[in-house]
Chains A and B, each alone.
Chain A
Amino acid sequence: MAEMKTAAYICSGCELGNRLDVAQLSKIAQKEGKMALVREHAFLCNEEGVQMIRDDIEKEAVTHICIAACSRRSKTEAFHFPTVAISRANLREGVIWGIAEGEQHDEVRQEMAGDYVRMGCAEVKKMTLPLGNPNHAHNKRLLVVGGGMSGMTSALEAAEAGYDIVIVEKEAQLGGWAAKLWKRVPFKQPFAEPQDTGLAELAGKVSSHPRISVYLSSTIAETSGAPGRFSVQVKGAAGITTEEVGGIVQATGFTTYDINKLPELGGGKSANVIDQAGMEALARTANGAAIKRADGKEVKSVVFVQCAGQRDESGTHLPYCSGHCCATSVKQAMYFKDANPQVDTVVMYTDLRLPGMGEDFYRSAQQKGVIFTKGKVSTVAASGDGCEVKFRDLILDEDTALNADLVVLATGQVPTAGVNLEAWNPIVTAAEGGSAEAKQQRVEMQKTSVLNLNYRQGPDMPQLKNGFNDSHFICFPYETRRTGIYAAGPVRRPMDMLQATEDATGAALKAIQTVENASLGRAAHPRSGDLSYPIVRLEGCTQCKRCTVECPFGAIDEDERRFPQFNESRCRRCGTCMGACPVRVISFENYSVDTVGNQIKSIDMPDEFSEKPRILILACENDAYPALDMAGLQHHVYSAFVRAIPVRCMGSVNTIWITDALNSGYDGVMTMGCKHGDNYQCHFVKGSELANYRLSKIEDNLKQMGLEKERVISHEVAITDSARVAELINDYVAKIQEIGMSPMKGFN
């Protein structure tokens, strides 16, 4: 590695030259920034400017550059120099656009620009060029857990793209839920008739595919490792086999809600009350002929009760809607009408839910004579040879009843997602605390696990809601909390077969992506492509376990000596571990306690009589920092006394930065993270929440230092808050001026 040669480039374009004294900034870069090379340019981002930098890199062997121009979010194509470490001093959005115009502000504006140049230089000197995680893991095979419609689709789609697949299915044959169906809802137009499930054909393709190997009647005893190097213990009749894979798709599907829990609807009470699964069984037996009940009587009248044990607000049954059941009942009603148009078929619903082209399917059923009644069923009870359905007809506004030979309850989907970690973790803590009972519970729970991950954070994927493994993010349905492991199909979210196959294909792509990234030592979403990775100086580690506990992605295990063991390809590069570490032994090449700490210390701190407070802003790079940029773009003017530093995530904020800042005379510190709580925005799950927790602990330090607690303040900032951030800043500056300059000034 060639030794460091630094350079600073100061742009005077975009009015920078007119609003700032660029020559003085150059001097700062030289004298204080200690930059070996300092160049000014009137239009740094144009070809000539860029060429100038390129030449320095090639001819002058420059290794570290600070670009003092626009925000790091702008002109990224122009300022793309993959072979050197780069810092960006944000003079445009961050200074001349956001700070008041006019001579009376020239001084403070220039001071701000000066500090940003100091910070840029200070930062880059502590950076090294990330070269990627050395422990590359090259295994590109994929494991698909579950051999149903979703699992087989994932497997086949990935295999068709040239990847080797291992399927593990707990049943003795492939097919899962779909194998129980007589027909499925149509995927393509005309959306009019039930279709063959196509399962046999799919299963055929899967079992004969050269790239796919299948384990039947098998489960997973243990999963260890990381993307690109997972090791999976497959437990089958023949005992345990170890499979090495690079990525995992969990397509473990669902079971139907137990109708015995619905006695008021005749569930488990009457043989003539069945669920949709039972209905499919009858249809398969009839195989197109008149449909008969279990007792062999031909069904002349049938009622489908929608939302049975679903959309429940009482807390006893499923609170959610399983989405597919309306279409499924419509399909099943067609089974009857197609076999014998004379059969009375009534679908009883409160909101009929057939989105998209499902409307055509609905119309088709009406065309066939299926009756749709908007009614709320109160009870279903055996009566005579059949059942009596008591209901409130919501249109005719009356309590009434219907008699039917058969009643079908449209019950919901219950995911097969394994262990719920929110229940698991306290038990583990108790067990580790020595509770025998907890140890026992732990064993019992472990039995229900699907993946049996040997991760510090528990054996399965975290569940989002109602036991489903869904992603928390609307824009990123595959943003998993276990890197390299993706849920697909009804285990992610209640869904119909069309969506499940779509989802399974998407999950397969994400699994492929992980193994490709892992093999290059790169991060996965959302920092995809990031070559930096966490480096730990074990000699300094005190084994406090904060990093292993707080890592949102379960990337860090503990080795036998209880030292943290990093699995870089599980890591998402958020830096939460870095923020957590009390002894500051964790860092990234281009983002560390030093890169930020150095910036903080680098500024020119006015003395306490200057009337010029200095306020540090630590801003989440995803929401708050763009909001600050946009405040500039939209000219929401804010105080020139603030100095903003973008951070990867609030979770990466190490409290040492804050205490250092206050020690070195800053008058206040603002943190701007994203929303936390149930609808949290943090793409690293708990970053802003952790930061909040850590900051709450800082008050004592403030006391010791004899500082008011108002000197540290934290805000939730959304990316749209461009106007609000300016207000927050100005209010806070006013507040600080009110409580006065920090007494810490001049002590260093």
Chain B
Amino acid sequence: MNASIATNQTILVVGGGISGMTSALEAAECGKQVILAERNTSLGGRTSLLYRYFPKMCHPTCGLEINLRRLKANRNLRVMTQTEVTSVTGKRGDYTVTLKISPRYVNQNCTGCGECAKVVEAEIDNPYEYGLSKTKAAYLPHAMAYPQRYVLDASIVGAADGEKAKAACKYNAIELDMKTETVELKVGAVIWATGWKPYDAAKIQPYGYDRFDNVITSLEFERLADPHGPTGGKLLRPSDGKEAKNIAFIQCAGSRDENHLRHCSRICCMASLKQTQYVREVYGDEGKSTIYYIDIRSIDRLEDFYQKVQQDSAVKFVKSKVANIKLHEETNDLILHGVDTEGYHRYAAQHDLVVLAVGMEPESNGIALPADMITDSSGFIEGSKDGGQFSAGAASSPLDVNRSVQSATAASLRAIQVVHKTSATEGAR
């Protein structure tokens, strides 16, 4: 992609999840020039790995399809994948950004025919399945990947597999000598839509995520429920592939906890309520779900969903922060210990699978933000002091998809204001 297209009238959006795509598209559909930089190999972000959305139980990929169509139809928007922002210098309306583009080892000649994947033998943990399954080291990220191009995992570059892949490609799409590129661009405004990552569940020691196979995260559970996922939509537990029919959902796994994340992650209550309905979808009354919670936070009309799930005889609610989990060695089941604080009921409850509703940590924790950036105590981004860089979606605060998109749309307007003003002042000159 050539740097010359960018000027101080260009808006850079960092992150190609639903927030980033929204910010980019909304601005582009107002006629602005936009560059969308995504670190991963394809757009879609976290939500493309979810099975369904609450409260409608509709599929994230449906919205992704529309956004991709908008994006394909819009010439104001340029997408750069495997691209990270390494520095932002300059000032509001006149930034110079440095982008690091990692090699895909596959160029735009790729037709997505898949011949390379057929010949490559090496397998890697599927990065789009939280490592729950393997994929060939030459792979199409997922069924709706955009760009619809294969990726060669660096591990086979310089190995026999890499050569095999190259030989199998009729279209000279594979470039084993592709190098990391660095590009400098001029942009007027930057929108950080870097999103969130699940809190490292292993740090919540009493729940033994690192010790017990059948303690998983809510995001891994999404993959299990997804027909495109590693189990083809069957709720099979990791230890023995047994159907999980008595599932515990533990709320505030990391959230609202000064030993972990001091904030409430907002979405987890609804996510677990939603996931109890996955269990019902598969097993009907057979599938039991129990939600261990402190406060159920189903705000505005989402309350209806909570009330609906409360009516579900297969779902139980226990007002309790689970104290610890012990392994039942014979069965690989888990015993949850704690006290239901409504009244006083001590329990030692056995479940065949435990899903930790892990909290949202800003993905930007761990990437170097420009010095000028203001973040809160949890690392969520407020924006830059000079008012030319903004945050959108879950990068700005723990938000659900709907609110993320609102936030992303608002961020586009703020960015447009910046480029509008620079053009106005330049016009005046």
At the interface, yes or no: B304 with Cβ under 8 Å from chain A? Answer: yes
At the interface, yes or no: B301 with Cβ under 8 Å from chain A? Answer: yes
Q: Which of A468-476, A566-574, A686-694 contacts B (4 or more CB under 8 A)?
A: A468-476
Give every chain A residue within 8 A of B412 (Cβ-Cβ): 509
Given contacts A357-B376, A622-B66, A675-B58, whether A320 and B303 have CB atoms under 8 Å apart is yes
| Cβ 8 A contact of B402, one of A13, A468, A477, A494 | A477
- Tell me the B22-63 residues at the A interface (CB within 8 Å): 26, 29-31, 51, 53, 56-63
Give every chain A residue within 8 A of B31 (Cβ-Cβ): 516
* Per-position 1/0 for B301-327, Cβ under 8 A of A: 111100100000000000100000000
Q: Which of B3-11, B86-94, B105-113, B155-163 contacts A (4 or more CB under 8 A)?
A: B105-113
- Tell me the B55-83 residues at the A interface (CB within 8 Å): 56-67, 69-70, 72-74
Closest to B57 in A: A679
Give every chain B residue within 8 A of A394 (Cβ-Cβ): 319, 342-343
Contact yes or no, B29 A74, CB < 8 A:
no
At the interface, yes or no: B245 with Cβ under 8 Å from chain A? Answer: no
At the interface, yes or no: B300 with Cβ under 8 Å from chain A? Answer: yes
A688→B124 CA distance, assembly (Å): 42
How many chain-B residues does the 8 Å CB contact rule pick out?
82
Contact yes or no, B295 A351, CB < 8 A:
yes
| Cβ 8 A contact of A517, one of B29, B226, B343, B410 | B29
Given contacts A356-B263, A395-B341, A397-B344, whether A475 and B67 have CB atoms under 8 Å apart is yes
Give every chain B residue within 8 A of A510 (Cβ-Cβ): 26, 409
Contact yes or no, A162 B424, CB < 8 A:
yes
Given contacts A351-B297, A395-B341, A722-B228, whether A502 and B263 have CB atoms under 8 Å apart is no
Give every chain B residue within 8 A of A611 (Cβ-Cβ): none
Closest to B171 in A: A43
At the interface, yes or no: A437 with Cβ under 8 Å from chain B? Answer: no
- Tell me the A356-407 residues at the B interface (CB within 8 Å): 356-360, 374, 394-395, 397
At the interface, yes or no: B378 with Cβ under 8 Å from chain A? Answer: yes
Closest to B65 in A: A626
- Tell me the A161-203 residues at the B interface (CB within 8 Å): 161-162, 188-190
Contact yes or no, A357 B263, CB < 8 A:
yes
At the interface, yes or no: B97 with Cβ under 8 Å from chain A? Answer: no
At the interface, yes or no: B18 with Cβ under 8 Å from chain A? Answer: yes
A720→B144 CA distance, assembly (Å): 10
At the interface, yes or no: A14 with Cβ under 8 Å from chain B? Answer: yes
Contact yes or no, B143 A313, CB < 8 A:
no
Contact yes or no, A512 B405, CB < 8 A:
no
Contact yes or no, B406 A477, CB < 8 A:
yes
Contact yes or no, B341 A476, CB < 8 A:
no
At the interface, yes or no: B256 with Cβ under 8 Å from chain A? Answer: yes
Give every chain A residue within 8 A of B113 (Cβ-Cβ): 13-15
Give every chain A residue within 8 A of B143 (Cβ-Cβ): 630, 633-634, 722
At the interface, yes or no: A61 with Cβ under 8 Å from chain B? Answer: no
Given contacts A46-B171, A509-B410, whether A321 and B59 have CB atoms under 8 Å apart is no
Contact yes or no, B66 A683, CB < 8 A:
yes
Give every chain A residue within 8 A of B53 (Cβ-Cβ): 474-475
| Cβ 8 A contact of A506, one of B72, B111, B410 | B410
* Per-position 1/0 for B397-425, Cβ under 8 A of A: 11101110111011011101100110010
Contact yes or no, A681 B65, CB < 8 A:
no
Given contacts A359-B256, A622-B66, A723-B227, whether A157 and B109 have CB atoms under 8 Å apart is no
Contact yes or no, B62 A512, CB < 8 A:
no
At the interface, yes or no: B298 with Cβ under 8 Å from chain A? Answer: yes
| Cβ 8 A contact of B263, one of A70, A162, A360 | A360
Give every chain A residue within 8 A of B298 (Cβ-Cβ): 321
* Per-position 1/0 for B240-265, Cβ under 8 A of A: 00000000000000001000001111
Contact yes or no, A476 B296, CB < 8 A:
no
At the interface, yes or no: B382 with Cβ under 8 Å from chain A? Answer: yes
Contact yes or no, A311 B59, CB < 8 A:
no
Task: Tell me whether chain A's interface is mostly helix, strand or loop, or mixed.
Answer: loop
A356→B400 CA distance, assembly (Å): 11
Contact yes or no, B62 A719, CB < 8 A:
yes
| Cβ 8 A contact of B29, one of A75, A397, A513 | A513
Contact yes or no, B111 A70, CB < 8 A:
yes
A329→B26 CA distance, assembly (Å): 36
Given contacts A475-B401, A720-B59, whether A323 and B300 have CB atoms under 8 Å apart is yes
Contact yes or no, A478 B409, CB < 8 A:
yes
At the interface, yes or no: A353 with Cβ under 8 Å from chain B? Answer: yes
Given contacts A43-B171, A46-B109, A513-B26, whether A157 and B61 have CB atoms under 8 Å apart is no
A321→B269 CA distance, assembly (Å): 15
Contact yes or no, A475 B66, CB < 8 A:
yes
Contact yes or no, A475 B376, CB < 8 A:
no
Contact yes or no, A718 B62, CB < 8 A:
yes
Given contacts A320-B300, A321-B303, whether A157 and B377 have CB atoms under 8 Å apart is no
Contact yes or no, B376 A355, CB < 8 A:
no
A468→B407 CA distance, assembly (Å): 19
Q: How far is the CB of B136 from chain A (nearest CB, A)?
A: 14
Contact yes or no, A359 B382, CB < 8 A:
no
At the interface, yes or no: A465 with Cβ under 8 Å from chain B? Answer: yes
- Tell me the A263-315 residues at the B interface (CB within 8 Å): 311, 313
A499→B18 CA distance, assembly (Å): 19
Contact yes or no, A679 B409, CB < 8 A:
no
Give every chain A residue within 8 A of B144 (Cβ-Cβ): 626, 630
Give every chain A residue within 8 A of B402 (Cβ-Cβ): 474-475, 477
A718→B57 CA distance, assembly (Å): 11
* Per-position 1/0 for A503-527, Cβ under 8 A of B: 1011011101100110000000110
At the interface, yes or no: B266 with Cβ under 8 Å from chain A? Answer: yes
Give every chain B residue within 8 A of A674 (Cβ-Cβ): 62
| Cβ 8 A contact of B406, one of A322, A360, A468, A506 | A506
Contact yes or no, A322 B300, CB < 8 A:
yes
Contact yes or no, A474 B295, CB < 8 A:
no
Given contacts A188-B376, A319-B304, A499-B403, whether A356 and B266 have CB atoms under 8 Å apart is yes
| Cβ 8 A contact of B416, one of A322, A506, A509 | A509
At the interface, yes or no: A529 with Cβ under 8 Å from chain B? Answer: yes
Among B69, B262, B414, the one with the most A-chain Cβ atoms within 10 Å of its Cβ is B69
At the interface, yes or no: A76 with Cβ under 8 Å from chain B? Answer: yes
Give every chain A residue within 8 A of B301 (Cβ-Cβ): 320, 465-466, 468, 470, 493
At the interface, yes or no: A650 with Cβ under 8 Å from chain B? Answer: no
At the interface, yes or no: A55 with Cβ under 8 Å from chain B? Answer: no
Among A73, A355, A357, the one with the most B-chain Cβ atoms within 10 Å of its Cβ is A355
Q: How far is the CB of A232 from chain B (nearest CB, A)?
A: 23
Q: How far is the CB of A246 from chain B (nearest CB, A)?
A: 13
At the interface, yes or no: A528 with Cβ under 8 Å from chain B? Answer: yes
Contact yes or no, B29 A160, CB < 8 A:
no
Give every chain B residue within 8 A of A460 (Cβ-Cβ): none
A15→B295 CA distance, assembly (Å): 57
- Tell me the A702-722 residues at the B interface (CB within 8 Å): 718-720, 722
At the interface, yes or no: B299 with Cβ under 8 Å from chain A? Answer: yes
At the interface, yes or no: B231 with Cβ under 8 Å from chain A? Answer: no
A510→B256 CA distance, assembly (Å): 35
At the interface, yes or no: A100 with Cβ under 8 Å from chain B? Answer: no
A611→B297 CA distance, assembly (Å): 59
At the interface, yes or no: A354 with Cβ under 8 Å from chain B? Answer: yes
At the interface, yes or no: B170 with Cβ under 8 Å from chain A? Answer: yes
At the interface, yes or no: B148 with Cβ under 8 Å from chain A? Answer: yes
A160→B303 CA distance, assembly (Å): 37
Q: How far is the CB of A706 from chain B (nearest CB, A)?
A: 39
Can you list 13 contacts pairing A with B, beta carbon distance less than 8 Å?
A157-B417, A160-B420, A160-B421, A357-B397, A395-B342, A493-B301, A509-B30, A513-B30, A516-B29, A529-B74, A623-B62, A626-B65, A679-B57
Given pairs A188-B376, A360-B262, A513-B26, 4 additional interface contacts (CB within 8 A)? A70-B111, A73-B69, A509-B410, A516-B29
Which chain B residues have a beta carbon within 8 Å of chain A's beta carbons? Answer: 18, 26, 29-31, 51, 53, 56-67, 69-70, 72-74, 109, 111-113, 143-144, 148, 170-171, 226-228, 256, 262-266, 295-304, 307, 319, 341-344, 376-378, 380, 382, 397-399, 401-403, 405-407, 409-410, 412-414, 416-417, 420-421, 424
